[in-house]
Structure 1
Amino acid sequence: GVREHVELRTEVTSVRQEADGMWTVVSRDAGGAVTSRRFEQVIVASGHHTDPALPDPLPEGAESFAGTILHSLDYRTGADFAGRRVVVVGLGASAVDIAADLSRHAAETFLSVRRGLHIVPKQLYGMSVDVIAEAPWWNEMSFAERIQWVEQALLVARGKLSDYGLPEPDHPVFSSAVTLSDEILSRIRHGAVTPRPAIGSFDGDRVVFTDGTSTAADAVVYCTGFHMTWPFLPAGCPVAADGSVELYRRVVPADRPGLYFVGLVRPVGAITRLVEAQAQWVARIIDGETSLPPAEEMREEIDAYLTSIVRRYGRTQGASIQVDVGPYLAEFRESATV
């Protein structure tokens, strides 16, 4: 009985809270018809991959580059680039996945990396990193002990990144986002993907790197992330003036009752179980099985969380949605037993 209540190809253009606490949601369907409806609760589950982010400005010569420049958002399959020479920019999840995929189709695949990131395989010592993140022995370790354990495990599992031609990270693991991949280092080692430094400029059909080397290229895929935007929501929700996402338990804006964000987190590992825990918690709140604390208490939790985030990652928008899987899931398990 769910499908009859689902509207596909429908854009939400406005979500605003009225004086009586109800939410007015304005939407537009594929035919252009606009509908306005009122709801007691609104759940935003659109994630944080919203508007593609490209370097601004692009490197010199980009406007006259003879090849194609695109963002990872527009990438579909490596088969579209069969026999072509492609430069992939970045070292995050999209970059390494796209580079590995391209390497099976393209004539040449280059991976342009400005800054080193920790590349973590999906298993360490035969254990899934998702299982490790929830293991009692892991969560009993101090933060320093976890860093030491992981860095030692990474040396055993894949050695130094510089051995693959990639820059070594300039920061400890867990002080910035990590990249999970079982494949990219193998593709590099087998010569299917060639690491290169950052792009310095474009020259005709050539991409010139910051070390002075260059290569002819038919396409450049920028895997440089996204800007988090919610144009249908009131200004300042959920992003504060300093760029931090301000949500109680990374779900609830303290001063907007009836509004929830599900999936707006970034863990080390899979997000699936976290989204499930969030959804179950929101359902319990809506059903009246549990309740939210006063707004002031929620603001205190948000402030404490963001203070710890700044101490660990620095003040960036992306860092403000970073969570540790084990402790985060434990918060929802505890609330389920109250």
Structure 2
Amino acid sequence: MRRENVEDGQASIYQSVITNTSKEMSCFSDFPMPEHFPNFLHNSKLLEYFRIFAKKFDLLKYIQFQTTVLSVKKHPDFSSSGQWEVVTESNGKEQRAVFDAIMVCSGHHILPHIPLESFPGIERFKGQYFHSRQYKHPEGFEGKHILVIGIGNSASDIAVELSKKAAQVFISTRHGSWVMGRISEDGYPWDVIFHTRFSSMFRNVLPRTIVKQMMDQQMNRWFSHENYGLEPQNKYLMKEPVVNDDLPSRILYGAIKVKSRVKELTETSAIFEDGTVEENIDIIVFATGYTFSFPFLEESFVKVEENMVSLYKCVFPPHLEKSTFACIGLIQPLGSIFPTVELQARWVTRVFKGEFGKSQSQILQTNYIDYLDELASEIGVKPHFLSFLLKDPKLAMKLYFGPCNSYQYRLVGPGQWEGARHAILTQKQRILKPLKTRALQESANFPVSFLLKILGLLAVVVAIFSRLQWF
């Protein structure tokens, strides 16, 4: 739960945090979020979903709250047993236990990264400075001149919120970033439109130059990033974009000003790389990310070099003799983290049970759907489009042209859920339910989008049969 005080060793969020991914793309694969929930959730609403989920599956009895893991070490006979010794502390008392396998799910938003050495003069600065992890709410920042360093989601959220109270907010960015809103075509959530197998297929098969041009046009459809000083230095690098509905408008009327990299700080001012100076800076917020940290592990287990972790398929340390240790969630997908970590966990538990070993399949793809499909293939839960096209065409259309959400990975194989098909076919209803607060007379417009899907489906079938002729 969100706390007012920032605690060491714990993740921290500010009061106004809202999810960047929609409810239909973020729920667990066998438990859709309640129909009346809004499409993007305030953090308190997401917590409510977790509590409903835990109650539904009676999970609380398996969770030890207020317990700190002090150390995780190999058992003396690890080479044969693969077991681990774990030392925990609760209410001042230490306990030791032996486990057959370990999953580290602590995430990577705990240890703040503030590269003070990159900001000459910070020791002379007389104002206040802190990491974005310390930020909770805008009260107390009234009338201040505030410099936010960074251009990620936290930096943008905090800058927008502070700009409603402060005299002036500046955002300093070295490389810029794409900025997109939560609302996409026809008012649907962005990820419902973006993450479809159909669009993913096009991004994978089209020449890279064309994909770059399409991405440039798509990202600049809302506003020109160049005009707003936000265009990424390497605009074709598939870096996670910022999702913020208000940042462009706050820039448009001057509440936020975008600046280049900070070159130097004085007692009261910031000197930027382009030679400009902003005087009377009261507060600096370092939204400069986090450092990977596993204080309970021996350094050799999970090696962190230059803030990078070497893991097989972003999960298993490759050098361990036994595959009984896994890291969950050490990945930054261009999409919701929840379906990603769920599939990671489903795969890992089957490896732990010895039902199959780690395959040496293709190199990990960076595409969100490719990664989900790769994990799903390892488990045997990836849906086969052609199979469904023959026996259930209606569902096949939803699988290929609709959002690729977690329900798709409950249709077949281990952990199959009988409600998966219904959840897929009714996802539009759950998206629109919280929006339909005013009754309107239904129009009888011809569904052009349906015709386009039919044409797209025919194109896919033709392509498949053309390829089969070569065999």
For this structure pair, what is the TM-score category when the shorter chain's length is used for normalisation? 0.7 to 0.9
Superposition map of 1:143-182 within 5 A: 143=204, 144=208, 145-159=210-224, 161-164=225-228, 166-182=229-245
- The correspondence for 2:123, drawn from 47, 51, 63, is 63
| Cα drift, residue 284 of structure 1 | 4.0
Aligned partner of 1:110 in structure 2 is 170
Larger CA Rg, structure 1 vs 2: 2
5+ long unaligned stretches in structure 1: 309-322
The 5-angstrom pairing of residues 262-277 of structure 1 reads 262-277=328-343
Shift of 1:113: 1.6
Question: Which residues in structure 2 correspond to 1:251-266 (within 5 Å)?
Answer: 251-254=315-318, 255=320, 256-266=322-332
Percent identity, aligned pairs only, is 27
- Distance in 2 (alpha carbons) for counterparts of 1:124 and 1:26: 48
Distance 1:198 1:28, change over 3 A: same
User: Cα 1:274–1:146, aligned 2, differ >3 Å: closer, same or farther?
Assistant: farther
Cα offsets for 1:243-267 (capped at 9, x unmatched): 6422232222232421121111101
Conserved? CA contact 1:103–1:109, under 8 Å: yes
Q: Is the 8 A contact 1:147 1:174 kept in 2?
A: no
Distance 2:212 2:191 in 1: 16
- Which of 209, 224, 229 is the aligned partner of 2:293? 229
Q: Are the counterparts in 1 of residues 292 and 304 from structure 2 also a CA contact under 8 Å?
A: no
Tell me if the contact between 2:113 and 2:290 (Cα under 8 Å) persists in the aligned partners.
Answer: yes
Please give the per-residue CA displacement for 1:115-164, whole angstroms capped at 9, x wherever unaligned: 222223334434544234431221212442433322111222222x2211
TM-score of the pair, normalised by structure 1: 0.83
Structure 1 residue aligned with 2:195: 134
Map Cα deviations across residues 54-75 of structure 1 (whole Å, 9 max, x no partner): 1241523211312111011111
Cα deviation for residue 2 of structure 1 reads: 3.1
Tell me which amino acid in the other structure corresponds to 1:228: F
**Structure 2: gaps (5+ residues):** 1-57, 382-412, 414-471
Q: 1:98 aligns with which of 128, 153, 158?
A: 158
Which has the higher mean CA deviation after the structures are superposed, 145-154 or 65-74?
145-154
2:45 pairs with 1:16: no
Equivalent residue number for residue 96 of structure 2: 36
In the TM superposition, what whole-angstrom CA distance separates every residue of 1:207-231 from its partner, at most 9, and x where no partner exists?
3333231221221001111111212
Whole-angstrom distance in 2 between the partners of 1:142 and 1:5: 42
Q: Aligned equivalents of 2:68 and 2:285: distance in 1?
A: 28
Match of 1:317 in 2: none
Query: Which 10-residue stretch deviates more, 211-220 or 118-127?
Result: 118-127
Say if 1:279 and 1:133 are closer, same or farther in 2 by CA, change over 3 A.
farther
Instruction: Answer whether contact 1:125 1:153 (CA < 8 A) is retained.
Output: no
Counterpart for residue 332 of structure 1 = 375
Give the structure with the higher percent strand. Answer: 1
* Whole-angstrom distance in 1 between the partners of 2:301 and 2:194: 30
Aligned mates of 2:131, 2:311 — CA distance in 1: 29
Local SS of the residue matching 1:162: coil
Q: Which residue pairs with 2:62 in the alignment?
A: 5
Shift of 1:16: 1.4
**C-alpha distance in 1, partners of 2:279/2:93?**
50
SS at structure 1 position matched to 2:248: helix
Structure 2 vs 1, CA of residues 62 and 240 (structure 1 numbering), >3 Å: closer, same or farther? closer
- AA aligned opposite 2:283: A
Does 1:205 find its partner at 2:268?
A: yes
Q: What is the Cα-based RMSD across aligned positions, in Å?
A: 2.5
- Report if the CA contact (8 A) 2:175-2:234 is conserved: no
